[in-house]
Structure 1
């Protein structure tokens, strides 16, 4: 048996640890991660090892040589250009002439490789993926297997709606050499995204082996610290040459520890260290070789590499120090801070939590460092939620935050790219907008300042001006102290999760493409775009049909700005309009009275951002949510027989019934608005009329209202009459508390314990029965699972949702 260690990783999320060091060379318990992997392979009798290299390859070659010093034989295979995980292994060529194991050189594990190999041979597998179970699988590749271990599906870094299991890919594979014949030499390919799905399609025998030992993907700084804590807790078995001088205290050779120093277990002190009088090396601290800790200094839950000098009275709390760092007297470093090689932290300086300092930097005396000194990665939570970005004004979202976010957003574009930035009339939204624009300009992006607009008008401006993207800042409907920021792509749709992650990476790494003064682009101020928007919408409709019918409409909105746009637009095309301001759609009696008083055909409620349209007919029937979606679908089918409509997976099944009647087609997507938009806008927003109409009906309340009026006038019908054509449907929407760490288990158990129901895994898990369906969807922002159901009657819909509520309760409590 041979092994391939994948050691080409750059480890950008571990910076500054990896500024001058490849990720596999980062030490855990004073030994490079890759050395732990080599020791594990040797323990299981595997000594013929190939190593794939890419980033700083000479550092690995210089340390390991030909492997003889470690009792193994090593051959190196260096990539000139990135080849991906599978492509790099293919690059090993003739070395792969027998069954071999592929293992990551930057994860820590004590898995039983022998048992995994036995499983592989027993199953006569062509490819076996070693799996492990994790509480929160969002950052891993989820692998779905049946009871026999046969792999049935993959999903790379899922959202909560895609979490169908808690078994994830460890990056360790046992492969037969003929599998590599599927790969093209020199072509960039990935195991998870390319090779394994292809093997699944070709029906090659492929199995998942769930390991029982320890595994940690050291992908970020918090995981790096946790790996040390886990070793000290005995959760993982590794080799060490240190001597346990006292239970839980390991000390290397040549180290001198003053009799008045305090060592609290568990802790590690490497070779040739000196610990002064009154110094405290507290629990869960790991010191490398040649460190000096002077009198009265304290180190708690921290990792120090080699050659550091910690002067009198300094404090280190839950931090990481690389090599040859000098902390002067009374310097203090706090939780999750990281200091790179050869830095000097002067007297009484304070490094605040979560700060990253890149190599060879000096911090002045008495300085308080609360920002990264050099741009790079930073371990923190994500800034985007399920529905974009939001936060409390001047708490979560400050001008400083806005400027950094603008620079991060601009950095994903090429210099000279053009974007639009707009906001509502709110002063706080304008404040954020101007700070955001400054960040954009600082990285060389040309900005169109669109002044005060609504979200749909901003979407329209992106297409009209042919820019690369844009943002719109608005107040939250449910909290006047909360801002929401909509990011839009070149089509005017909400950006994808992939794009969100790019922005987050640039934001947290502060990896901004700063430009010189001469490269700063112009700021273009456009103040009257809403007039272009109105003309563009009216040019696409049959205004004569509306003028001839002269419909009467009541407009209700909490926003005077919305009313100031809608009322003149409707009046210009012959509508008779009554309007009043209200933020409470529950005042249905008042709205019906307004309809009757003005002899109106119906009332239209438009939210303050111009995105959500709710209709109320003469009888007080409220048309919103699923009913509104059914109405817009029916309008699409009747206006364009044979057309396609896009709806989320939670939409009622009567939409398919209507599609069949009009020879139409229904395409279902994930539940998020961005997923629906993306599917609708496969073509540019204003190049395909069918797509445009459906988009406007569902995501632009102003244009959607015009399109509905046009339809009613052209067909010479009323809202009440068209609603009668929609079949009755019965849906139920419920939610249940579910801890984050149990969501993966809940989804996996629901799938494996299903009865005769048909299962769909588009978004969450949808169970289809004869009398209805249920969808279980983990919430992306809250510790909840949401249950949607539809039945042939209200009682059946409730019964189905209660069934899955009880199942989830049982799984959580088991």
Structure 2
């Protein structure tokens, strides 16, 4: 029996970004922390009492091993207040010993014969014994000069080949006598190799080298981190078996994932792994627990930590994805690429650098320099809020933090919460509510519903902060203010700042409350029914909504108003319920912007003021003039209060942002006039709208004033062109320019859009 000290306090700076949020000994090797393998080794050689010195992120180590105690081994954790060096750490952990003490690093992988080394130490009556290993390239190691009997005569620290007169590397594994330990000053930063051993050598003390022929790998950098796992799978290190070996070189922690994919040994698969059809995994690849790999992906010579995601058609070669990191569809990660925890490489992007935790490489971007600082790219608000995929960007953990960030920005004001009706939405809403409450905000929980319901509820309850969780192809977190209007830029900035900074902290008795207000759906339905005061008897319409809840609500409302559901036009609602498209089987589709125009025409006829977002069709201004109406425009992300009047009007006028309200307004008009929808459309001014997104190589802001004759410049640039108008708006996340072209017909609008897109591309190339 012998005492052991495991050195586990280093920061592992050469392993960044892997070690940004976990200590080096906890770096996973084929599904287990590196230190686990050291403890296995000590256990095989009879170690019973083990001290573990801690410095950097100590809770990660203590928490892991507190939950997983080792039978027959007494683990004692010793935390340092300040760095003490290798020797100082050992003296701090074991100030007094009576027998030789084994010192070993917690971040190496080896299978040395420690029993034989201890016997050698005792046989030589050594003051200290250094375990050494012959290496191919001696330039990266401290070298030991030793005679045939093992007596050490000198040291050479990381020499050039010209100075490398030996290939015996110091492995950092030592056996230290009580006499040597007594020479280490207490509480001072002292290193074995730099301080203690040279003094012992000069004073003639007995320093010996014990050469072990077993496996040893110092996990000093990211290349050695990948290499040691390949060698572990290849059986070069005599360690505990890695789960079940299905066939030579293919290791499974539990069972083989279902599907038609290819494994090329050596490869390790953790538990709950999902692999898409046609994917090729290996050789030299480690896949941690709960990883997802998309169809047709290629992952070779790479390491995936728990919860990592690889999208369809992505290609990884010599890459490392830390916990929760994501390489989206068709991304390419070349040798040396590393994604820190929860970092993301966007669709079609190319990476040959290191990305720090939480950062993002945008879709289509090529990154060859490390990305360490700055705002996490994706976690800034775009046109639809913060958008992402469930389980990739939008996770319960992120939702909880986002909720806390909103509450921090709101300074404890109550916050409205509502979400669309889609799979996986409920846990995300719960996480948002928990985050909001943890930072001191009461939560007005409207449950599941369309954005129009949240807008109504916020106006009803006089709330000025709200979050809408939308579904669809992806998931979006939308920050809204009074009446469900888009949040102002100062509101967004305060949330973004809190997301990447310090969140408000509250004690348990200061947490916010969660009040369920889903019952307001009845009041909201009552508001819908008021839009058709004469009822809808004799009419029929069919509903197709992306949200099951919206489908049920609108159908029930129509039934209560006497409208049939078995024939007539089809009312199409998008996932948020904002936009209404009408489909007449005989005539075709009435797009959302025309349905909005019909509602505006009706409002103008009644003398109402209509307030619309800035990008709404300019043809509606012409319509307002023709019908003696009044149209205001509010900004979607104002930096000031210049649109205050328009926003005040919009808070009380909900129907322009609510597709269900628009449907009832138009059905009520049909009931009153007897017109069908296409007869109504014929009375509108002729206009068509075409929109598209144009990518830019540089900042889109530099291009805006160079696009052509400017009619107006507020939230974007309005261009007056022959045959129509084009509104050019910079993408809110700086990725490009959004174009909205208007003309008398679709062909002319498409030509205008294409013309401006070509102009943008040319200007972008010039920049």
| Structure 2 length-normalised TM | 0.49
Higher relative contact order (CA 8 A, sep 6+): 1
Rg larger for: 2
